Amino acid sequence: MNYYCKKKYRFLIIIMINHTVNLKYTNAIKFYHK
């Protein structure tokens, strides 16, 4: 049970990091296209 919770938590952290990176990347693209 504890191992599963840790795995799920790590997965959520990875998703959050990827989301913030994608936001920065799209913002940079929009900025350069202006």
Note down pLDDT in tens along the chain; length 34 residues. Answer: 577 878 888 999 999 999 999 999 998 888 877 6
Q: Closest by alpha carbon to 18, among 6, 10, 30, 7?
A: 10
pLDDT at 1: 58
pLDDT at 30: 84
pTM, 2 dp? 0.54
Q: What Rg do the C-alpha atoms of the chain give, in angstroms?
A: 15
The whole-angstrom separation of Cα 31 and Cα 34 is 6
Residue whose pair of structure tokens reads 């919770």 in the numeric block: 5
